[in-house]
Structure 1
């Protein structure tokens, strides 16, 4: 369960699958496009987010270490997802982002809280 490739593959399939489902009313082409965009982004985000949260947490202290890294993470991820899906032509951008952004934001706050307990 600690396998990075497994985590990345899960993110690609789960969040790409959600994106396809969120765009189901727009035909197979839109579903495939949304899957490809979200799957790729989720895989990349999975690779980068954990380490970015760790670095932010290491460099800050107190409340800042608990709040700033996940807030930066959720802001950057939300902006990235919105920008790429908009430029890519995903029909249901906000519906598509709802689950991946929520999951990544919750993960960021929970993961940083766990880092805080081990400090």
Structure 2
């Protein structure tokens, strides 16, 4: 199954180097975190808490589909503008978000 990101932060894009492996660090209601071997973190989820340069934005249905196929500790591999998993590929060839963080509109309570 191929899933499509709606946008990607500029820092996340820099971290997604061909051949690199990420591990699912945590899964929660609004998305999930993945980390590389250097503990560099990328958030994957909706924009309910604003947009961030280290994030990959998904629509609500795509987020649910992604979360249903993942467990903490699963590996994701960067290949051809995709994050690949046994159950899906997440295409991150999407709109690049500017390098500012919208904390003003973030719901951090």
What TM-score bracket applies, with the shorter chain setting the length? under 0.3
Question: Which of the two has greater helix per residue?
Answer: 1
Structure 1 or 2, whichever has the larger Rg, is: 1
**Higher RCO structure, 1 or 2 (CA under 8 Å, sep 6+):** 2
Question: Which of the two has greater strand per residue?
Answer: 2
The TM-score with structure 2 as length reference comes to 0.25
